[in-house]
Amino acid sequence: MFNKGRKKTAVIIGLGEFGLHLALNLSKCGCDCIVADKDSNKIESIKNYVMKAVIIDVLQKDSIPHIVPTDTDFVVVSLGDVEASIMAALNLKDLKISPVYVKAISEEHERILKMMGVENIIFPEKDMGRRFATKLMSNNLLDFLPLSEDYSVAELAPLQSMENKTLKEIDFRKKHNLSIIAVKELVPNNIVISPGPDMRIKISDILVVLGKKEDIDSYNSMKT
């Protein structure tokens, strides 16, 4: 959660569906959120839910310093127009503002952003499609969050053979090459962070693991 220690400050440029919901959720998490859009109606609809809402044309490079404080933790460009998105990203890059996350709306847009040297590209529809497809096709995978090209955090269902055994008895790390970083108990509703070796697994538990995608896939292929 962002409310631990210093509050984070974020700037969201563009209030389409993604930008709007991102800003609202960041604010709910305790982030000081600044939003910018040239549509006054969009600004009016969100101004009471964020720290600051500004009507501005971010294609004008001189306008960007007015909405991006020096202590900003990150900027997200979420514009629905490809040309506007590219120009906003370019202006932010010229002003040496980072980190900047840019939403891509097509494969071509994503390719151009990569050519520009944009490191953090968001592709919500593509990422969600991949995530949902993986979930539908997996036996034991409940949810997953990619961390890099090789590593992910995943929520896994225990195998039947694990029921009522301790983590020490299961020897999960050795057998599956995955680290259990938390266990979500559904009965009773609870979460155990960094569970100890004596924790006994129930078939209703959810195992939150960290490891290579190939090892997660291997676990998923096993029958429960």
**pLDDT for the residue 4:** 43
**In the chain, which stretches have pLDDT less than 50?**
1-4
Q: What is the pLDDT of residue 54?
A: 93
Q: In this structure, which topology does domain 9-122 adopt according to CATH?
A: Rossmann fold (3.40.50)
Q: Any idea which residue has 């592709």 for tokens?
A: 123
Q: Residue 61 has what pLDDT? A: 77
Q: How many CA atoms lie within 13 A of 95 on its CB side?
A: 24
Query: What CA–CA distance (Å, rounded) separates 13 from 33?
Result: 11
| CATH node for 128-220 | 3.30.70.1450
Nearest one of 215, 151, 158, 213 to 183, comparing CA atoms: 158
Q: Could you list the beta-strand ranges (E) of 28-140.
A: 32-37, 52-55, 74-77, 100-103, 120-122
| Start-end of CATH 3.40.50.720 domains in the chain | 9-122
Boundaries of CATH 3.30.70.1450 in the chain?
Answer: 128-220
* pTM of the complete model beyond 0.85: no
What confidence score (pLDDT) does residue 181 get? 86
